[in-house]
Amino acid sequence: MEEVARRNGALEVRVARDEMEATKLAAARRSAFSALARLAPTTILEDATVPRSELAKMIRFVTAVAKKYKLRIGTFGHMGMAICTRPS
């Protein structure tokens, strides 16, 4: 998944080396909503499960929607024990 994320434009990919690091990465992902809420007082959080084979396609779609409608959309999530971020 790290290779797929990088090949499709991920700005950052972190892969946990052990359970302790995985716990820290999960905590970082949970804090993403708070960071988004500081950017805009009206923040909507949606959770989606996307097949790994469709992840890059989904991120491209969200990016296109954000651009078309002039929206700020934060895309964040996890793939197993990896955390990936990419701005829209």
CB of 10 within 8 A of CB of 84? yes
Q: How confident is the model at residue 80 (pLDDT cuts 50, 70, 90)?
A: low
The pLDDT of residue 22 is 82
The dihedral formed by the CA atoms of 10, 7, 54 and 42, expressed in degrees to the nearest 10: 10
The pLDDT of residue 38 is 84
Q: Where are the domains of the chain?
A: 2-87
The string of pLDDT tens digits covering residues 21-79 is 888 888 887 887 788 788 887 878 787 888 878 888 888 899 999 999 998 888 777 66
The pLDDT of residue 84 is 54
